[in-house]
């Protein structure tokens, strides 16, 4: 695992740079960021639903449970349409979705840091990134109601902090690869 991480240290640094750029954009244009997130989310659900429906009906002859895929596709289309009709509600649901992602992602990062503690010095950075993600997720879960725009500021601040930690981790991995 260490060899793969060290070999691709630059991907982690690039991820950090992109996170910082996203964070700065979110802080500069919070309203636009929220609108874009909601539009992307709705579009993703709708298009994904269409593809799932096509796949379900195309494979219905060889699959007894094709209707489950069709049901998932129809649900995706319906929620995609609802996203466009009720963007405010979608923004709150999206915030909760982001919170769940941050919690799971953070837990995986902490677990990876624990696994790597005997193989690499500086695993603290990976663990710290995971802890930041968990704290971010908990804050969003506990209080999603203060307003989605205020949460965009929180997302922006988190992205900048996470990006800085990712860059530090990537640079640490680069020096580990050199030794």
Q: Has residue 50 been placed in a domain?
A: no
* CA dist list (Å): 83 to 47, 76, 92, 148: 13, 10, 11, 15
Is residue 40 domain-resident? Answer: no
Buried b / exposed e over 66-92, threshold 16 CB at 10 Å, is beebbebbbebbebbebbeeebeebbe
pLDDT of residue 146: 66
Parent domain of 102: 2-33+87-178
Asked if residue 47 belongs to a domain, the reply is no
Select the more confidently predicted residue: 24 or 112: 24
pLDDT value at position 91? 78
With respect to residue 101, please indicate whether it lies within any of the assigned structural domains: yes
* Confidence band, pLDDT 50/70/90 cuts, at residue 112: confident
End-to-end CA distance of the chain: 16
Give the total number of structural domains in the chain: 1
The predicted-structure confidence for 59-68, as pLDDT tens digits, reads as follows 788 777 788 8
Predicted TM-score (pTM) of the model is 0.54
- The per-residue pLDDT for 125 is 83
- Confidence label for 145 from pLDDT (cuts 50, 70 and 90): low
């Amino acid at each position: 695992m260490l060899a793969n991480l060290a070999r691709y240290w630059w991907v982690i640094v690039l991820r950090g740079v992109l996170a910082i750029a996203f964070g700065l954009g979110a802080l500069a244009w919070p309203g636009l960021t929220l609108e874009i997130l909601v539009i992307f989310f709705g579009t993703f659900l709708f298009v994904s639903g269409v593809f799932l429906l096509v796949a379900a009906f195309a494979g219905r002859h060889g699959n007894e449970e094709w209707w489950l895929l069709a049901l998932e596709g129809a649900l995706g289309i319906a929620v995609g349409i609802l996203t466009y009709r009720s963007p405010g509600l979608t923004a709150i649901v999206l915030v909760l979705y982001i919170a769940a992602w941050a919690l799971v992602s953070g837990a995986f990062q902490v677990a990876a840091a624990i696994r790597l503690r005997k193989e690499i010095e500086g695993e603290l950075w990976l663990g710290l990134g995971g802890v930041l993600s968990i704290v971010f997720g908990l804050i969003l879960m506990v209080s999603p109601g203060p307003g989605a725009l205020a949460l965009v500021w929180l997302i922006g601040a988190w992205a900048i902090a996470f990006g800085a930690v990712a860059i530090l981790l990537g640079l640490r991995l680069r020096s580990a690869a050199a030794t």
